[in-house]
Amino acid sequence: MSAAAKTRPTDLAATFEDDRYSWTRRRSVRRAGVVGEAVLVGALALAALAAGHGLLGSGVFAVVWVVGLLLFIPLHSVVNLGVRGLHDRRETTLDEVQRTQRDRSTAATHWPRLLLSLLAVLVAVQTATSTDGAGGASGGTAAFSVGFVLWFASWLTSTWHLAWTLPEED
Amino acid sequence: MPKTDDDAVHHRIAVLRAERGASRRDLAEAVGVHPQTIGYLERGEYSPSLVLALKIARYFDLPVEAVFSLDPLPTLSSEVYGRTAR
């Protein structure tokens, strides 16, 4: 008997296997979720860049980010339920096919994740060492926000790949 | 998913399951995998590990070569009655 069968599913794994959320596992829903998250992350980055160039007031920028991050919570829940939370569950609750699917997505997105992470670090270093005061405090906040979005996107990439490529269930 | 046709593992899982009246869930629980995994195997979207193949063969109480093969398996009609598909 495999480890998956020997181990009692955790509450998290049980939630991801709950049939009430089977609608999230349809390919069309998964892909729509990925597009929605990508648009949202892009919008957050654009808002940060606009704020950095003085095109967006700090109050509006804050509102856009709070609303965007609040919207992200249900959106990512749908995407994560759609992929049965393969990146978040304990190894012992996954069978060999699920591990293969997860590992394939992790491997396929290695370079994009690395690139996004490096860009995030570069932006962070740039922000930390910037002394010319371009944009003042709001410029620093905007640069920090862009770095955060890049890091955030690097964290999401493998889940997006998984949600996009998983075969249709039956 | 098999990379090429040469990597494909042919099997009789669906036929044997129908013959025994076992659902995908029954088989999945018996061999310790997700029911969806049985679907992936039956549709040829995944080739099982040796351990999983042996467990499935044991579930059907058959030698592994009766369930899985690297070559296309003959149909039941040709195997039992020596008739080929039209």
Among left, alpha and beta (phi > 0; psi -120 to 50; other), residue B33 is beta
Q: Give the separation between CA B16 and CA B23, rounded to whole angstroms.
A: 11
> Does B53 fall in a domain?
yes
Q: Report whether pLDDT(A73) > 70.
A: yes
> Does A5 fall in a domain?
no
| Range with lowest mean pLDDT among A96-105, B50-59, B68-77 | B68-77
Q: Report whether pLDDT(B16) > 80.
A: yes
pLDDT category of residue B81 using cuts at 50, 70 and 90: confident
pLDDT of residue B2: 59
Residue B59 DSSP symbol: H
> Does B52 fall in a domain?
yes
Q: pTM to 2 decimals?
A: 0.83
Q: Domain range spanning residue A148?
A: 11-165
Q: Domain range spanning residue B75?
A: 7-81
Q: Give the separation between CA A126 and CA A145, rounded to whole angstroms.
A: 12
> Does B35 fall in a domain?
yes
* A73 contacts chain B (CB < 8 A): no
For residue A103, the tally of other CB atoms under 10 A from its CB is 12
pLDDT of residue A3: 47
Q: Which of A8, A96, A169 would you mutate first to test chain B, the one with the most B CBs within 10 A?
A: A96
pLDDT tens, residue by residue, A11-56: 888 899 999 999 999 999 999 999 999 999 999 999 998 888 888 8
Q: Which residues of B touch A6 (CB under 8 A)?
A: 32
**How many domains does chain B fold into?**
1
Higher-pLDDT residue of B73 and A36 is A36
Q: Can you tell me the ipTM of this complex?
A: 0.77
Looking at the complex, report in whole angstroms how far the Cα of residue B12 sits from the nearest Cα belonging to chain A: 19
Compare all CA atoms of chain A with the CA of B38 and give the residue at the minimum distance.
A97
> Does A6 fall in a domain?
no
Q: What is the mean pLDDT of residues B18-47?
A: 94
pLDDT tens, residue by residue, A115-168: 999 999 898 888 777 655 444 446 778 888 989 999 999 999 999 999 999 998
Looking at the complex, report in whole angstroms how far the Cα of residue B32 sits from the nearest Cα belonging to chain A: 5
> Does A1 fall in a domain?
no
Compare all CA atoms of chain A with the CA of B24 and give the residue at the minimum distance.
A170
Looking at the complex, report in whole angstroms how far the Cα of residue A61 sits from the nearest Cα belonging to chain B: 44
Indicate which CATH number applies to the domain containing B42: 1.10.260.40
pLDDT of residue A143: 84
Q: Over pLDDT 90: what percentage of chain A?
A: 64
Q: Give the separation between CA A162 and CA A109, rounded to whole angstroms.
A: 10
> Does A26 fall in a domain?
yes
| Range with lowest mean pLDDT among A49-53, A108-112, A139-143, B64-68 | A139-143
Q: What is the mean pLDDT of residues A86-90?
A: 92
Q: Which residues contact A40 (CB under 8 A, 6 or more apart)?
A: A68, A71, A72, A75
Q: Report whether pLDDT(A71) > 50.
A: yes
> Does B66 fall in a domain?
yes
Residue A135 DSSP symbol: T
pLDDT of residue B75: 79
Q: Give the separation between CA A54 and CA A155, rounded to whole angstroms.
A: 28
pLDDT of residue A2: 47
pLDDT of residue B52: 96
**How many domains does chain A fold into?**
1
> Does B86 fall in a domain?
no
Q: Give the separation between CA A3 and CA A1, rounded to whole angstroms.
A: 7
pLDDT of residue A135: 47
Please indicate whether, in this complex, the C-beta atoms of B37 and A1 are within 8 angstroms of each other: no
